[in-house]
């Protein structure tokens, strides 16, 4: 029987640029019409914790501390990954109108390839319109991502056999290659640029559903985009079940596998009830408590409407992982849970060691 390691983490784009630029995200939200100017200016009515993060330096000190904790958590997870020495790393991540656009947005898609060239550093499209990267690298720097064609093919066949109508892709259309959820996961697990030699199996989940066109058109203003028909995401139950099915395949495979869920939790940019100014931290705290107490085994029962109300759309990636870990009976060790009101989302880092 194979051994499987579970990992939950974030792909927060801010980590691609110096932390001093992170507070600019709020200003950028006002510029593009996502955040109402009066909400941004009326700081006395911000939540107290958000005012504390803003502080006397407009959030720069809080950004540096937030970055320190995120980087430390990624380093800890990389040490665990290296000690486990997987044959492949499967990543559940989402595509925000990067490779899947109006011609096809699948609920789930497995990537089948030997190697892809990605250019994730972004140039003028770096987060918060920042020219400088955290690594000081040119915008066209290539990230070569090795795939695992045999495992990806086996996964597709297995899921189809279990009546999941899975899509697959062997090419990318984005100028950056893979979606940023996958690229950023690799970059942040290799913050020191020692190399990431593990084959990667990207597993797309359509987390954004009926928000995908808003996410794809931020410059038009999130609330102002005239939406075409945009169906919802797959249900939490379907994500949970596909995670269980994935675990069943790899548990009897010849490979040592790391199963990774890549996403932050509630996103301010998706939390309409807060004017898209700050995330639903209370909902994230409940999720964190459920993770610690074993309630993740019931995440498939969460209503999609509750997830969307909290701006937790990307948690569907974690629900896939929760299904896999429930199937295998593996319990989590939380490396860190980093709350934020200013920096778009709270981030959780968790490890599910083999049972």
**What length is written for the chain?**
355
Supply the DSSP string of 273-292, one letter for each residue. Answer: GGTTSS--HHHHHHHHHHHH
β-strands 257-262, 200-205 pairing? unpaired
Q: Provide the whole-model pTM.
A: 0.94
User: Which pLDDT belongs to residue 14?
Assistant: 93
Host H or E run for residue 93: strand 88-93
Tokens of 200: 């990667």
Distance, CA of 255 to CA of 86 (rounded, Å): 8
Tokens of 218: 């931020």
Which of 42-56, 132-146, 168-182, 298-312 is predicted with the least confidence, judged by mean pLDDT? 132-146
CA distances from 81 to 46, 90, 158 (A): 39, 12, 25
Q: Predicted confidence band at 222 (pLDDT cuts at 50, 70, 90)?
A: very low
Alpha helices in the chain (DSSP H): 24-31, 37-41, 48-54, 60-84, 149-161, 180-189, 212-216, 236-251, 281-293, 304-309, 315-328
User: Which pLDDT belongs to residue 102?
Assistant: 82
Q: What is the mean pLDDT of residues 204-210?
A: 90
Report the share of the chain in percent with pLDDT over 70.
92
pLDDT in tens, 25-67: 999 999 989 999 999 999 999 999 999 999 999 999 999 999 9
User: Which pLDDT belongs to residue 103?
Assistant: 87
β-strands 333-338, 347-352 pairing? antiparallel
Task: Find out whether 354 and 81 touch, Cβ atoms under 8 Å.
Answer: no
Spacing of C-alpha 4 from chain mean position = 20
Tokens of 311: 């701006």
**DSSP label at 234?**
P
β-strands 115-118, 143-146 pairing? antiparallel
User: Which pLDDT belongs to residue 279?
Assistant: 98
User: Which pLDDT belongs to residue 345?
Assistant: 97
Coil, strand or helix at 111 = strand
Q: What is the mean pLDDT of residues 199-212?
A: 90
CA distances from 133 to 139, 200, 243, 307, 331 (A): 8, 24, 34, 32, 36
Residue for token pair 């099915």:
245
Q: Predicted confidence band at 231 (pLDDT cuts at 50, 70, 90)?
A: confident
- The architecture (CATH level 2) of 4-352 comes to 3-Layer(aba) Sandwich (3.40)
**Residue 213's closest CA among 232, 196, 228, 234?**
228
User: Which pLDDT belongs to residue 316?
Assistant: 98
Task: Find out whether 34 and 276 touch, Cβ atoms under 8 Å.
Answer: yes
Please work out, in degrees rounded to the nearest 5, the angle formed at the alpha carbon of residue 35 by the alpha carbons of 34 and 38.
150
**Residue 308's closest CA among 290, 283, 339?**
283
Distance, CA of 348 to CA of 95 (rounded, Å): 20
Tokens of 47: 């939540």
Q: What is the mean pLDDT of residues 306-322?
A: 97
Average pLDDT of the residues of the chain: 92
Q: Predicted confidence band at 209 (pLDDT cuts at 50, 70, 90)?
A: confident
Residue for token pair 């380093």:
75
User: Which pLDDT belongs to residue 224?
Assistant: 44
Q: Enumerate the domain spans of the chain.
A: 4-352
Distance, CA of 257 to CA of 239 (rounded, Å): 19
User: Which pLDDT belongs to residue 122?
Assistant: 66
């Amino acid at each position: 029987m194979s051994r499987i390691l579970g990992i939950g983490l974030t792909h927060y784009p801010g980590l691609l640029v110096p932390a001093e630029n992170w507070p600019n995200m709020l200003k950028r939200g006002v510029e593009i019409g996502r955040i109402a100017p009066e909400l941004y200016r009326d700081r006395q009515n911000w939540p107290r914790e958000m005012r504390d993060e803003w502080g006397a330096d407009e959030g720069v000190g809080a950004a540096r501390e937030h970055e320190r904790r995120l980087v430390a958590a990624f380093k800890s997870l990389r040490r665990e990954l290296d000690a486990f020495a997987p044959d492949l790393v499967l990543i559940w991540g989402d595509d925000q109108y990067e490779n899947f656009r109006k011609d096809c947005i699948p609920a789930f898609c497995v990537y089948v390839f030997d190697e892809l060239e990605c250019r994730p550093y972004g140039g003028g499209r770096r987060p918060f319109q920042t020219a400088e990267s955290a690594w000081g690298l040119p915008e066209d720097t290539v990230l070569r991502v090795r795939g695992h064609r045999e495992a990806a093919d086996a996964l597709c066949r297995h899921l189809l056999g279990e009546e999941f109508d899975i899509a697959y892709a062997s090419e990318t259309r984005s100028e950056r290659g893979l979606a940023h959820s996958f690229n950023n996961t690799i970059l942040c697990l290799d913050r020191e640029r020692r190399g990431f030699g593990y084959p990667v199996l990207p597993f797309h989940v359509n987390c954004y559903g009926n928000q995908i066109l808003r996410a794809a058109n931020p410059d038009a203003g999130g609330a102002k985009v005239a939406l075409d028909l945009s169906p919802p995401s797959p249900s939490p139950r379907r994500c949970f079940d596909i995670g269980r099915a994935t675990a069943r395949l790899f548990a009897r495979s010849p490979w040592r596998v790391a199963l990774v869920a890549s996403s932050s939790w509630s996103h301010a940019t998706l939390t309409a009830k807060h004017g898209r100014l700050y995330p639903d931290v209370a909902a994230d705290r409940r999720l964190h408590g459920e993770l610690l107490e074993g309630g993740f085994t019931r995440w498939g029962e969460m209503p999609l409407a509750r997830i969307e109300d909290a701006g937790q759309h990307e948690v569907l990636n974690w629900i896939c992982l929760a299904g896999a870990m429930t199937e295998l009976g593996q319990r989590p060790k939380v490396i860190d849970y980093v709350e934020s009101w200013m920096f778009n989302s709270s981030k959780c880092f968790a490890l599910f060691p083999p049972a």
